[in-house]
Amino acid sequence: MFVMVFSVKLEDLKLTFAKVFVIAIPSYSVAVLTEKIIYVVPTIAMMMMIANSIELGNLTNRNRVDTDDQAIDEDGSSVADIDGGL
């Protein structure tokens, strides 16, 4: 169990470093080349959007909708069991 937990943490660490490099390298490059904040801030914003889309294999940070599930009422009966009458 410890090995599995450690490997998950290592994968998260790799993902975090990848995201940091995607943001840092272009941002610092623009800062050094232009020396103007007006170009650096949009670069950081764009790179943050790109870095947020980086994922590892089965890990995802997006919400998924499962269309096969049936809705369940508060009383525990599924919506498909109701006749639909008034």
Give me the residue spans of the domains in the chain: 1-57
Q: What is the pTM of this model?
A: 0.55
Task: Answer yes or no: are the C-beta atoms of 54 and 15 closer than 8 Å.
Answer: yes
The pLDDT, as a whole number, for residue 32 is 95
Q: pLDDT tens digit string along 2-60?
A: 555 555 577 788 888 989 999 999 999 999 999 999 999 999 999 999 998 887 666 55
Q: Which residue, chain included where needed, has tokens 């940091």?
A: 20
Q: How far is CA 54 from CA 3, 28, 60, 69, 83, in A?
A: 25, 20, 9, 28, 46
Rounded to whole angstroms, the Cα distance separating 40 from 27 reads 6
Is the pLDDT assigned to residue 85 strictly greater than 70? no
